[in-house]
Structures are given as C-alpha cells and as structure tokens.
Structure 1
Amino acid sequence: MPGTILGGRYQVQDKIGTGGMATVYRGLDEVLGRTVAIKTMLPQYASDPSFAARFKQEAQAAAALQSPYIVSVYDWGKDADTYYIVMEYLRGTDLKSGIRKHGALDCKKVAQIGSQIAQALSVAHKHDIIHRDIKPQNIMVQPDGNIKVMDFGIARAKNSHLTQDNSVLGTAHYVSPEQTQGKELGPTTDIYSLGIVMYEAATGQVPFQGDDAISVALKQVNEQPKPPSQLNPAVDPSLESIILKCMQKNPAARFQTADELYHTLRDYLAGRMQAVNSATAMLAAQATNKIDRGAGVQPVTSGTASMPRVERTNRYRAQSATEQAAEEEAARQRKHRRNVVLGVIGALVAVAVAAFVVISALQTGAAMRPVPNLIGMDQEEAIDKIRESGFEVGDVKTTYSAEYEEGKVVEQSPTSTQTAEEGSKINIRVSSGESPVDKVAVPDLKNLTEEEAMDRCEEYGLLGRKGEDQEDGNIEAGKVCAQDTEPGEMIARGSTITFHLSSGAGTVDVPDVTGHDADSAESDLAKLGLVVKRDYAHSDGDAEGTVIRTDPAAGTSVEEGREVTIYISLGPEPVETVTVPYVIGYSYSTASSMLSSQGFVVQLAVGSSANGTVIDQSVYNSATYGATITLTTQSETTGGGNGGGSETGDYGNGGQTDPNTGTDTDSGETNANET
C-alpha cells in the first residue's frame, strides 16, 4: 500500500501499473533520495514456495545485467510476505503506445530501435537469460529517443532448475512457434519476438491477428506473415529481409545470436547493403510468398505459402496433392472442434460476467455508469466531465510527460474501458511537461583511437558508436577524424555519439589545367581536395592570366590535401630601353667602356682600329638593353693631330701623319678642338 516502507528504505508511493504477476509503484529510495520503480509480486504468487525461489534466482540474474538499453535492477528482497524488486524509474512512453499514436515508423527508426533491443538481448543471452516476453509494451522509449528493455522479471535463466512452472506465457501476438508448442527455448526465441516487434513498428500492425490468444498462437506455428512491404510500401527490401529472417518458423533459419542481428542492423543503418544482403541471403522463399520449386514450397490459394515438410535427413521434399488435401481436411476438423470448444467457453464466460454485473448491482444498489475518456483534456475540462458523468473527482496529481503538454490529463483511474458505480471517484494524473533532461557537453574525440573514443564517451555518460571510416590526410589512419555531433554541444546524457576513423589520405591525379584562367583552374583543383598556391612568370606564348604549367605536373598522382602550384602567365617579358651615351671623339677603349657599363654590346666597324678615336656610332639616342652598338674609328693611315682627323680633314688639324714616325708632315691652321 502507498506509504509502506519496504526493506527499511524504499517508500511505496502511487501505483503506476499492474501486470499478470506484479503491481508496480513509484517509490522513493530514502537512503539515496532518488525516485525508483518498485515491483511487488501478487499475493497468490508470493505464497507459492517454488515461485518464491524462482523469483529470488531471477531477480539476482536480472540485477547482473548491465546495459544502457536494459532497465537497471537496483535491489530486491522480501519484507514480511511481500517480494519486491527495486528498479530504475523511467520517464517516457512504451513503444506500443507510440505505434498506436503515430502509426508505422520510418525504416531507419525501426532499425535503430531493433539494434538497441538486440544489444540488450545480447547482454542477457551472454548471462544465459532468455527474456521470453519481448513485445512493444516492454520497450520504453525515453525522451532522448533511446530505448530500455523492461520486465526481465519473468525471464528464465537457462541454468535454472526451477522450470516446472511454465504457465506464464508472453503475449500471444509476439511468442515464437516453439514457445507456443512448449519446446525448449533458446536465444532465437527472443529474436523471433523482436522480429515481430520490428514488423509492427514498420507496418503499424502485428502480423498475426485472431479472436483469441489460442487462434493467434496457432497462426504463429502454421502461417507465414505477409511481407511488411505489402502493408506499408515504404518498407525497403533490405529491412524487410532482416525482419523476415528473424521471423522464420525454424529457429535454425533465424539469426543465431543477438550480436549477429545487431551487426546486420548496424550495417543497414550505415548503408552497407552488400553486408545486409549477405546476412539475409539464405532467407526462405516462402517468406515472400514466391514459389520456389527447388525449395519444396507449394502455392496455396490463401495467399500464404505452406512450409516444406522436413524429413529426418533434414532435406526438403514437396507434399503431394493428396497429402496436402488430407492435411487441409484434418486442419479444418481441428479448427471446427476448437471453435466449438471456444464457443462454449465464450458463452459460459459471457453468462458469468452478466451474472456478476447483475449481482453486484443488486448488492450495492448503485447504478453502473461508463467511465468517460479524459485523456488529453485540460485539467478543468476533465473535472467538469467527471462531474457531468455522475462521478466524483478523486486524486489529482501531476507527472512528467513527453507525449502530452503541460496541463493535459495523461492517466486516469479507472480507465474509460471500464464501468464504475455512480458517484465513485475518478483519479487523474496531469502532465507537468517533459521531464528535465540531464545534459552534458559533447567531448572532442579527434585524434583518439576507437577504444579511447568509446572510453571518453563513457566518461561523459554518453554512448560511443563507430561510423564508416573516412579519408583524411591530416589525421593518422585508425584515429578519429570526425564526429556527427560537434564538440561542446549540450545533449541528453545517455545519447549516442557517432564518430568516424581516418583511413588515411586519398590520392588524386593532378588534372591538366594549362590554358585555363587562374580562378577556374584553382576551383577545379580545390574540388579534388588539393591546396592551391599561385606563382607568376613571363611567357611569350601564353595569354596573360592563363595557367602556364603546374607543379607537380599534370597527371601526377598525389595525396589529397597536397599543395599544387599553378604558374600564371604575365604575358611577354617587357622590353627595357636605355639611353645610349654619346661617345664620338673618345678613344675606342673609353667609348667601349662607357657603352658596356650601360649594358650594351660594343662592336668595332669593319676597317676601324681599336687604337683609334671614335668618329661614328650606329645608335645615338636609345636602344634595347643589351643591344649591339657598332663604333667606327679614325683610320690608322690618316692624320690625327690632337685627337685625329678624317681623310677629308673634317676632324683634327687637317695635317698628314707619317705612318712610321707619327709626326705631322703638313701643318694645318684648323685646331681639332674647334671641330
């Protein structure tokens, strides 16, 4: 009862749920001051010694399971006649409610949920624990989108010797064929149930439906499911093949371990379709309602294929038409007998219920009224509705809700599917908004190894996940080069961080960009992951602004991120002109020095003497730097006087010189300087 203290520390508060074997309460751990969920076994089970022993063993086993995708079991015990389990208190909504509200989910979301459930099952199976009741009602979707698998309380440890009581059967819509038939169960029974959960999440409905649990269970054994894509065309073939492999009737045809299923779903999410196709390559033909004569599958008019008969040799053989007809007739007879029995039972139950209602009404003298549906109403609106319907307002409490906004009714007791005495109380629970999420800053994983990145995420209360490798020339191969969530971003504790390891730098061939303009050449190179550097040079044959060449040269294979220099034309080299010195009247040696110092090439005219005086030069004003200038000097055979003269006497003093003695032979009156 609320207010009870269990184990000297756990205060029982309000009831939050009731199952086939237990009632669950919200509670408070008075030692640690935290909210917990307390599951107490129903009295009829607690009084059974064999059940009590099994409960103890299974509680110990469940407490040993540590996974971010499994509800944590903190403690367990017995207080007086009450057996209890103390568990992590979860906020969110169960997957069944989510599917009812939103319908079929996106394929990627289905795979993500399936992947996390598979990881939870992998942990349990490694502890030799089979859940046996995987269904959407036992999958809690948290505010951050991650899931937690609940209710390992009815799970059975494989090494348990307390197996006589097998009366507890998971919900018929999700049980495996071998579970229905009472056969020994292994990890593949949970994989079958998970396949149905994914089927329902992908299509919005369960694969097998019927009027009662027995008819549904029989369909689990005898009928093939419609492919999910027939119910929801948005289901892609790869996810469909994964789901149908999980749901194979023969346990040996399913994924054999939860790890195998997890890795296949991970490959699907990462887009590695080849790996998914390889993992599901042996999917039986009947699962997709196609006829495969080689596999022994016979077509039937009902739209589902019959299973091949399995001989002792484990080889398939097709049934003959006579055999199939006989079996169909036998099945019709069984169905008829079952329907008769169920009809009698149903009639008896209906009579009993009617009698109970009449007797109850006579005993109490109070009228029974249908309970109104208050879910989703504003608090005041719900209170008015309760009174209008002839009831009294009971307890009004608040709770966190990710599904309903603040002020809306999220729970009621009794529910709208029931009737209650006129004037009785209806309790409601009103949303106080979403639960405050404990957030942490995302760590920087760059340059860490995969193991180091996983550890770093764990330190921050996050889950690490390795994505596909990426080429990166700046990060050593095998170390983190990128992460999907930026460092420093605040996210909910327990979220998943996907990171990518470097596979080293990729290589590219330097393209030929000669003749391109500089901007387009740089853009083309940058698109290939190359770093562009510009340099310039004169070129007579290339237009200004176009690429002359690259370094490394075109066609060279280089790593991404490598620097490539493009040489851009400045056009033809400009011509430099220099003023030519005036050297007439100077000795040849002096004139030659003057011109050479200005960068000219000096040449002596034919017939001129290097010992003479310059009387003419081929260029006077200006010339290209390095040009050749020809100098003409006074002939050695003509007079020179002071500075020499020409044969015509235009220069010098006009006298004649003796070529042997160098003395004047004729005196003139004109002075050379005057010239």
Structure 2
Amino acid sequence: MVHYKELEPLTHKENSPILVRNIATKEFLVKKKYDISLLTNLERLKEINHPNLPRIFEIVTKEQDLWLYEEYIHGKNVNELLLQNQLTDTQLILELGKAVTEALMILHEKKIIHRDIKPSNIMVTNDGLVKLVDFDAIRFYDGSKENDTTHLGTIGFASPEQYGFAETDKRSDLYSLGVVLNVCSVKAFPKEQLTTNPFLKELVIKATKMDPQNRYQTASEMRTVIVNQLNHLNDSTNSIQKTPSVKKYTTQFKDKKNSATPSFLSKFLSVVPGFRTGYYWKSIIAIVW
C-alpha cells in the first residue's frame, strides 16, 4: 500500500480535503473523504484519464469510510476568478465551456452524471488547463428510474429535474453548464439577467430550457456549437483587425525602433509559459499567476 504524509487541510470546513505527499515519489496529492455509497461510481471514475478531469490515483476504504487520493491542482476555481474580475473575455468563457463539455463527454460515455457543475467546481490550472472537479453528487445513469433517489446539486445551477421532477441524465449537466456560462458573462443566473453577448446568448437559452427534450441532447452537440461560436468570434476579431483605420493607426507609429520591438517580444513570449501556445485565454491566466 502507498503511504502518504498529511500536510494541511485545504479549507476550514469539516472533512476538508487534505494536502498530502506520497512519501515514495514526493508527489503532492489531495485526500478527500466520500460517502461509501459512491464507491462503485468512484471506481468507474478512477479508470478515466482525461486532461479536463483530475486523475484519481487510489481509493481506500475502511469500514464505512472512503478516502480518495487524487491529483493536486495548482490554480484557482472559476468562482475565485469571477470575484477577481479575471474571466470577462468572451473567448475565455467559450474556451472554458468547451473544456467542460469535453470532460462531460467522457463522463457521460461512462454513464456518469456529475450533477453539481458550478463555478467553484471548475478549476483553471496555472498552465491554463480547465478541470472539472468534485464528485460528491455523481450518480450512474441507466434510465430505469422516474426520479433521483437523492436530490443533490446547488440551487441556481441545478436543473429542474434535480428537484425530483424526473431522473437526471446528461442533459442535466448541460443545463448547469449553461447557467455557468451566463454567470461568467453577467454574474447572474439566466432567470435574473440573461446575457446579451451575441456569442453566448443563444447557447445559454438552449442549454437551460425547462424541458430536457429542448436542450442540447449531448455534450458533443453543445461542444460543436461552442466551437462554431469560437470560430465566428475569431473571424469577427480578424475582420476588425483588417479594417483600414487600424492599419493606418499601426503604420503611423511604425519606425525603426518600434519595428524591432515586436521581434524581440515575440521571441520572449514564445518561451514564457501561457504565451507559447498562442492562445489568448492562456496568456491572460499566465499574467494572473
């Protein structure tokens, strides 16, 4: 059995996740306590290795206690980024949504429903990688029940069926993600204030339909729409950059001294973590850290 050294609790809550270190490898992990009833679902989760989900290394059970050892994520959750006004750019929000749909695609493929998608359960690492975390509310979906035995989720983000109207399924997670995108855009739930952002509005409306039949039916479908919106956003951005007024402005201030600056800057940024990929949203995260 692998041995760990407990270092410190990560929150002030009861049964807080604990930062631990693998004594043999010196690797930092997070030790979390879960209800023993989640054992089968967590074992399914342990089989998954995906960049947008935390890697689970070990599950330990003792009588009625269950402890899970998972990857320690260096970064901030989306709720923290929102409070610090660090997630206001449309491209960042769309990239965030795209990453979460990719995590959901693999979960739903295994018939696992997350059921608690909200800003505090979405992490952005120091390298700009998005990870969907916390599995206290997960359940296995087989379509055999009229409603969930246990009603879990977070008020405001939980889908209507999570209140006992029907059984939750993959469309429930997509509803919650739609709410998250709206909150990222205007810091309010859709029913309070719907975003007017042209790249997000229709996306949010469809994802948060009351009837699951009227929502996106799969994470893959929602991801396709997000990717299309990203492409439209990039096209519109490139179009603006090519207008004569911008060209004239850049030409006016061009001289020998300034012409050397971009070359140096591009070489410098090409080796800076967060700027190497050329993704604007990763650059923003890199500046924050």
- Shorter chain as denominator, the TM-score bin is 0.7 to 0.9
* Alignment CA distance shift 1:161-1:261 (3 Å): closer
Contact 2:17 2:32 in 1 (8 A): yes
Aligned-partner SS, 2:209: coil
Task: Write the letter of the residue equivalent to 2:179.
Answer: I
Distance 1:272 1:141 in 2: 22
- What 5-or-longer segments of structure 2 have no aligned partner? 236-265, 280-289
2:200 is paired with a residue whose SS is helix
Equivalent positions of 1:397-546 (< 5 A) are 489-490=270-271, 492=273
Q: Are the counterparts in 2 of residues 16 and 26 from structure 1 also a CA contact under 8 Å?
A: yes
Aligned counterparts of 1:240 and 1:98: Cα–Cα separation in 2: 21
Percent identity, please: 23
Q: Distance in 1 between matches of 2:56 and 2:136?
A: 10
**Rg larger in structure:** 1
Higher helix share: 2
Give the match for residue 214 of structure 2.
253
Report whether the alignment pairs 1:240 with 2:201. yes
- Which of residues 4, 8, 26 in structure 2 aligns to 1:14? 8
TM-superposed deviation, 1:56? 1.4
Determine the C-alpha separation between the residues in 2 that align with 1:228 and 1:161. 36
Could you list the runs of 5+ residues in structure 1 that have no partner in the other structure? 1-6, 46-51, 208-223, 230-234, 275-484, 499-675
Change (3 A) 1:262 1:18: farther
With normalisation by structure 1, the TM-score equals 0.34
Cα distance in structure 1, aligned partners of 2:204 and 2:189: 12
Instruction: Please point out which of 10, 16, 22 is paired with 1:23.
Output: 16
Q: 1:228 to 1:198 in 2, by over 3 A?
A: same
Which one-letter code corresponds to 2:180 in the other structure? V
Q: 1:491 to 1:143 in 2, by over 3 A?
A: same
For residue 144 of structure 1, what is the aligned residue in structure 2?
Answer: 127
Q: Is the 8 A contact 2:146 2:166 kept in 1?
A: no
Q: CA RMSD in A?
A: 3.1
1:24/1:37 contact within 8 Å kept: yes
Q: How does 1:60-71 map to 2 (within 5 A)?
A: 60-71=43-54
Corresponding position of 2:195: 228
Q: Using structure 2 for the length normalisation, give the TM-score.
A: 0.76
- Say whether the 8 Å CA contact 2:137–2:152 is kept in structure 1: no
Q: Is the 8 A contact 1:69 1:116 kept in 2?
A: yes
1:59 and 1:153 in contact (8 A); partners too: no
Which residue pairs with 1:267 in the alignment? Answer: 228
Deviations 1:561-610 (A, max 9, x none): xxxxxxxxxxxxxxxxxxxxxxxxxxxxxxxxxxxxxxxxxxxxxxxxxx
Report the counterpart of residue 30 of structure 2 in structure 1. 37
Report the counterpart of residue 92 of structure 2 in structure 1.
109
Whether the 8 Å CA contact 2:186–2:193 is kept in 1: the answer is no
* 1:18–1:24 CA contact under 8 A, matched in 2: no
For the Cα contact (< 8 Å) 1:267–1:273, is it kept in 2? no
Structure 1 position 163, deviation (Å): 11
CA distance in 1, matches of 2:96, 2:181: 8
Question: Where do residues 531-570 of structure 1 align in structure 2 (5 Å cutoff)?
Answer: none
Counterpart of 1:56 (choices 32, 39, 60) is 39
More contact order relative to length (CA 8 Å, sep ≥ 6): 2
Q: Which runs of 4+ in 1 moved over 3 A?
A: 79-82, 159-168, 488-493, 495-498
Aligned length: 247
Give secondary structure in 2 for the equivalent of 1:108. Answer: helix
CA 1:161–1:56 in structure 2 vs 1: closer, same or farther (change >3 Å)?
farther
| Mapped partners of 1:19, 1:125: distance in 2 | 30
What is the CA distance between 1:19 and its match in structure 2? 6.3
